[in-house]
Amino acid sequence: MNDNWKIETLAVQSGYDPENGGPRVTPLVQSTTFRYDDAQSVADLFDLKREGFFYTRLANPTVDVLEKKMAALEGGVAAVATSAGQTANTLAIMNIARSGDHVVAVSSLYGGTVSLLTNTLKKFGVEVTFVQPDADSDTVRKAFRPNTKALFGETLANPALIMLDIERFAAIAHENGVPLIVDNTFPTPVLCRPFEFGADIVTHSTTKYSDGHALAVGGIIIEKGDFNWKNGKFPELCNPDPSYHGLVYTDNFAACPYSVKMRAQFIRDLGVPMAPMNAMLTNIGLETLHLRMERHSSNALKLAEHLQKHEKVAWVNYPGLKDSPQRPMMEKYMPNGASGVLCFGVKGGKAAGEIVMNSLKLAAIVVHVADVRTGVLHPASMTHRQLSDEELVAAGVSPDMIRVTVGIENIDDIIADFDQALAKA
Ligand SMILES: *Cc1c(COP(=O)(O)O)cnc(C)c1O
C-alpha cells in the first residue's frame, strides 16, 4: 500500500498485497484453524506475543484484509470486523463502558441502536442519556456525568437523515475526556471521513453500502489511534488484564490498544467475528464503493428533486436538496454527495403512502437499505416498530414517512416507477 493513494485506489487495492506468484484476488480462507510446527508458536499467539492466525473466531486472513482496507479507507490505525452492524455498535460501547458507567447518545439514531442503548445495555448496567442533534452545546455538556465513557452519534442518521455536527460533538466529548463514536454507515468513507473532524472511533454496518449488494450481514469498528486512554477514565485499557497474564493494552499495543482489547476480550469471549465468506463478499463490494456512492448520490438527488415538484407529495427530506435545512452541514461534511437514502410523505398520509408502496414495480418493499437495487420501507411499521411514540419523534420518524433507498439503476426508470405509483394514490 502506498501512503499517498487516494480513496478510489484504496477501495480497490488496499488491505491485500499479494506476494510473488500469489493470487491477485484476495483469497477466501475458509478454514477455522491453522497449522503450526511447534507448540511454542501457538502459545505465543495465544499470549498475543506474536501476530498470526490460529483460530478463525479471533482472526482470519480474509477478514484481516477487510479490516485493513476499512482502516485505510477511514484513515484509522486498526479495525475489528464483527458478525453484524449491531455487534459493532454494541462492542464499540462495551469495550469502554461497563456496569455502573454511562454514555451520552444523540437521539437521531438507527432504531436498533436506540433499542440497544435503552434496553439491552441498560440490563448490563450501562445507562444512557439522549441529547437532540440540534441541542445547544451547554445542554449537551449537562448530559455528561463523572462516569460517562463515550459520546455516540450517527453521521447521517438512519432514517431521519439528520446530520451530526461531528466537530462540535467531538469537542464536547474531548472536553469531558471521552471518545466520540460515530456510526458512519450511510455516508461511507467515500463521502465522509469522521476522523478528519475529530471522531475517535467509527463503526459501520457493512451490511449496507460497504457490501452494497445485499449479500452479507456484517459490521466493523475502526480506531483512529490518537485518543488518550491514559486520562484516568479507562483503567481497563491501562491496567493489567488478568485474562491475559497481566498484559497492559496501552503499553503492549500502544498504537491500537482499543482494537486489541476488543478482539482479545470481546471477539474472543462473546464469539462474534465476521465470517470469512462475508468478509470476502464485502471486500468485493468495497472495490466499487467509490463508483456506487457517486451514482447512489446523484440518483437520489434527482429523485428527491422530482418528488419535491410532484403534486401528490407532501414533503421530501434529502440533505442534498438546495433548500434542505441540512444543506450547510452537508456542504461541510459530505461535499461530494449526500448518499442514496431519501424520505418523503404522500399527501393523504399513511394510507395513501401505503398505496404508493404497494404500487411500485421496480422499487421493492425491503427491510434493507443501501444496495444497488431501489427499495422502499415504512419505518414506523417496520424497522422502528418497537419504538414508543416519543422515541419515534426523537428519532425523527413521522407516521407517514416512506424511506427510499435509491439504487444505481437508470434514474429515468426509477422516476417513472414512482410516477406511476403516485398516480394511483
Ligand atoms: C443497519 C444499521 C445498523 C445495524 O446493522 P446490522 O448489520 O443490520 O446489524 C446500525 N447502524 C445503522 C446506521 C444501520 O443502518
* pTM: predicted TM-score of the whole model, two decimal places: 0.96
CA of 150 to the centre of ligand 1 (A): 19
Q: State what percent of residues in the chain have pLDDT above 90.
A: 87
- The span from the CA of 51 to the CA of 31, in Å, is 18
Residues 6+ apart with CB under 8 A from 21: none
What is the rounded average pLDDT of the residues 10-23?
A: 96
Domain final position from 269, 285, 301? 285
Q: Which residue has the higher pLDDT, 59 or 245?
A: 59
- pLDDT band at 388, cuts 50/70/90? confident
In a domain, 1, yes or no: no
- Residue 191 and residue 306 in one domain: no
Specify if 2 maps to a domain.
Answer: no
**pLDDT tens-digit map of 237-287:** 999 999 888 999 999 999 999 999 999 999 999 999 999 999 999 999 999
In a domain, 185, yes or no: yes
Q: Which domain holds residue 307?
A: 290-422
Q: Into how many domains does the chain fold?
A: 2
Tell me the average pLDDT across 50-79: 96
Calculate the average pLDDT of the chain: 95
- Ligand 1 within 6 A of CB of 217: yes
pLDDT digits (tens, 9 = 90+) for 178-222: 999 999 999 999 999 999 999 999 999 999 999 999 999 999 999
Ligand 1 in reach of 205 Cβ (< 6 A) = yes
First to last CA, the chain: 53
Supply the CATH number for residue 309's domain. 3.90.1150.10
pLDDT (0 to 100) of residue 150: 98
Atom nearest to 109 CA in ligand 1: 13
Write out pLDDT tens, residues 297-356. 999 999 999 999 999 999 999 999 999 999 999 999 999 999 999 999 999 988 899 999
**Do 281 and 301 share a structural domain?**
no
Choose one of 254, 270, 285: the last residue of a domain: 285
Kindly give the number of the ligand 1 atom that is closest to the alpha carbon of 86. 9
Answer yes or no: do 243 and 114 share one domain: yes
Same domain assignment for residues 241 and 113 = yes
Q: Are residues 334 and 202 in the same domain?
A: no
